[in-house]
Every structure is written in structure tokens, then in C-alpha cells.
A = this chain, B = another copy of it.
Amino acid sequence: MTERAGRGRRRARAPRADRGPADRFEPLPPLDNPLPPVEVLSADGIDKIKRAAFTLLHDAGIEFRSNEVLDILERNGAKVDRDSQIARMDRDTVEHYVALAPERIPFHARNRDRDTFIGGNRINFNTVGSPPNISDIDRGRRPGSYDALCDLVKLNHALGVAHLVGGALVEPMDLPVSSRHLQNAYALLRYSDRPIMVRSVSRFRAEDAIEMVAIARGVSRDQMLTEPSVLTNFNVNSPRRADEELLEGLMCFGESGQPVAITPFTLAGAMSPVSIAGALVQQTAEALGTIAFSQMANAGAPVLLGGFTSNVDMKSGAPAFGTPEYVKAVLAGGQISRHFKLPYRSSNVNASNAVDAQSTYESAMSLWAVIMGYANVVHHGLGWLEGGLTASLEKTVMDAEMIREWAETLKPVDVSDEELAVDAIMGVEPGGHFFGEAHTLERFEDAFYQPMVSDWRNYETWQEDGSRTATERANTVWKHLLESYEPPDMEPAIDEALQDYVARRSRELERAAS
């Protein structure tokens, strides 16, 4: 009895099924992690990071590159230096305002069956956002386009794994910069029915996105105020700088009751110190300072603490993702977020140039960290490659497989009498097998996780069938899903209203830009 697979030695009597990819996947239900979060910081560790962050906010402050913002900060107790545009805040002020942010954010889709919330132990996966390139193994890497963006939205809808979709799943380089946010929002709203995320650089883009979501949902802007339904991300331009156009978007979202993930861009060794603790101090200070401002501008505005801390390769200066340092930063960031009763945003990342073992182990490290660290929104959850420079169709499928496996893993072990199966075990003689047993036949079809990509056939069969790697099989899956894609229902009047909005605003914006 050696521990070999014994394929062929003992064969199932269960019927063989065709191994082609499924036509349609049941959407992944909301993912609530029943296990306690993994914590890498002691209470003392959290306290030290927190105190250092408050020292930083008090002594060094954050540069807010907007006079409107500086006015608000000054009115609410910050010490503002107009020359440098730096605002300094004391601990009491920061804690007071941060405490106004809600601990849990309801989050609505145009299809109410896809409503979710952001907070607690709920892990919401989002698609990849904002890479300039798209790739697949047939056509290689190429600049993003609107068609490529639509394909990614459709693929994600068909896979049914992303709980949210957006921002730009790939940058539509073939559309005018001034108006591409409109087409992007349309694609998200039309080809998917999940809650969406958008970019919100400048007030007009934020405003357009919120308006389009209201149209798609068929609700008023008043109703939107209490029903968050579009998320945006605010990247602090680390170290310690908040840019004007992003601050406009932040304020617009806050006024409109829509959530913002405040995410410092703290790559340790480049935009933050070459230590995880230092990067966490800076991330915490930059996030809390900006969150405090968000609450001064709009008390109770929904915000997330965003963590994006990773490290650079100190040999080349290249960013690294899904590393041991990344895992620790993700888990610690979750602890700090919970400490301040803030929802937490993180990412599923890797720095590989191919959909290979590296992209997989870096993503696998990211995934266990975001899931066991209670990231309430996992941005870049499906399809991210090359440190975010490329959206990959095969990687999207691979991430879907890995996330589905995690969701299955988190389902509790059923210890009912039927599952304990004592009678079934007693019914099989020593050295026998369970294939033909009633207990087996009654439940074999749904007993275990069914993969999309994994191939468990024996080596000879796999070889005869072309020795295809998992990446090649993922290629077959996305093609099949795009071919059989069907858009979710949308009332024609709503579709028309959306298209009208896009056409009118595009004309306005392109005219203004020219």
C-alpha cells in the first residue's frame, strides 16, 4: 500500500460524464467566512502602528492638493499650511471623524438578487481594474480596447464568481479619454448585473457614473443616497499626497452616499519605507487622515480602509506581489481596519508575466491572505497579471477556479448522521470499496466540488488528449463561455436611457475637449 493514486486499479462504477467545460455556472453565492480571521499582529503591535500613524499625522501631515479640501480640513480642526498644502491633525480629531464612518455598507445591484454588503466577515470579489493591456495565449499581449473590456465583463458574468464588476477591466485605449468612462460604465451595467465599481478621477466622471447607476437601477438620486450601489477607489499618491482630481471624486461620492475605498499606494522600499511595519504605519496614517477628511466633508459617508502594501524587489526596483511580505501586510491591514471598525479592501495580485506556476502561487498566497484576513472587497480578484499591467483571459478563469475552491472549502463540514455514514462503512467488507453502495449512489453526483479547469484523468489519457496544461484548458473555457454568453435581462427603456445618456454626455465632453 503505497500512496499512489491507483488510477485504473479501482474504477468508479458511476457513469462517466463528458469532460468538456460547462455551458453555464451557477453564480457563486455571497461568501461569508465562518472561520475566525488570521491575525499576525499582537494587540501591542497594533497599538505601536497606530501610535506611529497618529504621530505622523500630527507632526508631518498629508498634502491635500485642493484648496476646497484644505478649507474643510481647517474648519474641522486640522492645522493647515497653505504654502505646502499640508494638513496636520491631532489624534482626537482623527479618531472622532474616523468613528463617524459606518462599519458596514449595504451594496446594491441592478439585479436585487445580487445585492450584497461590505463589512463583517463577507468577502466580495471584484474583477481586475485598470490594466492598459489585455492578453490571451492565442493573441498574446496587446493594448486594451472597448471590445476587450466588454469580453472581460461578459466572461466574468458567465463565470458568476465576481460579486462586483469594475472599474475598467481593461483600459479601452480606442476610446477618447474624455468620455471612455461612460462607455465603461455602460458595459459594466449592461453586460453584468452585479454592483459596480468605477474610477472617479474628477467630479464630472464621478457624477456621470452615479447618474448611470441610478438609471440602470431605475431609482432616484435621493434613493441612491441611502442605497450605495457604486464603489470607487481613492489612491493616495504615496507618500502623503492626495491629488486634486481624486479628491473631487471622493467628495462627489461622499455627497451621493456612495462608498470609496481609501487606498494608499505604499510599495515598501519605493513609496514607503523598506519594512512592512513602516509601510503599515504609512498606510494607516494616509488612510485614516483621508478618511477623517471624508467624514468632515460628509459625516457618515461610506468608506473602506484600503490596503495595497507590497514590497519592491530591492535588486531591480520592480514591484513584487503575492509575496510573504504582501501576505503579512494584508493580514495586518485587516486587523487595523477592524480595530477602527472600518470595512477593508485588499487585492488578489501577482507579478508574473505569464499564466504559469508563478502567477498561481502568488495569487494563491494573496487569496488565502485576503480571505483569512477578511478583506470585504477584493479588488483585482480575477484576471490580474504582470503586477496589474495586463488583464488576462486565462488568468480570469484560473482565478475563478481558485475562488470557487475557496468558497467550497469554507462550507462547514456536515456532521449529520447521514454524512457520518457509520452504517455505510459497516456495510463494506474489509479491503472492499464503496463505489456500488447505496450511500454512494444516492449522493455521488453532488458530493464533491466540480472543477472548471482541473483535469484529474490519468497521465496516458491526458497525453493522448494533447497534454494540455491548465492554462490551455482555461483558454478553452473562456472561449466557450464567450461563445455561449447571454446578457442578463434589462428593460429596453432602461437600456435606451443609458445609451442616450452615454451619447449625450459623450458629445458634450468630446466637444469640450476639442
Contacts and interface: CB of A to CB of B under 8 A. Distances in A.
A447 B275 contact: yes
Interface stretch (A202-210, A213-221, A423-431): A423-431
A348 to B, nearest CB: 12
Interface in A454-470: 454-459, 462-463, 467, 469-470
Q: Classify chain A's interface size.
A: 35 or more
A201 to B, nearest CB: 9
A426 B59 contact: yes
A504 interface: no
Interface in A62-108: 62-63, 84, 86
A36 to B, nearest CB: 8
Contacts of A269: 12, 434-435, 440, 444, 447-448
A52 interface: yes
Contact of A275 (B235, B315, B362, B443): B443
Given A413-B41, A422-B55, A2 B440 contact: no
A66 B439 CA distance: 31
So how many copies of this chain end up in the complex? 2
Contact of A415 (B48, B56, B237, B408): B48
A189 interface: no
B315 A428 contact: no
A86 B424 CA distance: 18
Given A364-B361, A432-B239, A314 B447 contact: yes
A416 B272 CA distance: 16
Contacts of A21: none
Given A356-B356, A470-B352, A470-B358, A1 B265 contact: yes
For the complex of A and B, 5 pairs with smallest distance between CB atoms: A12-B317, A5-B387, A278-B421, A364-B364, A324-B408
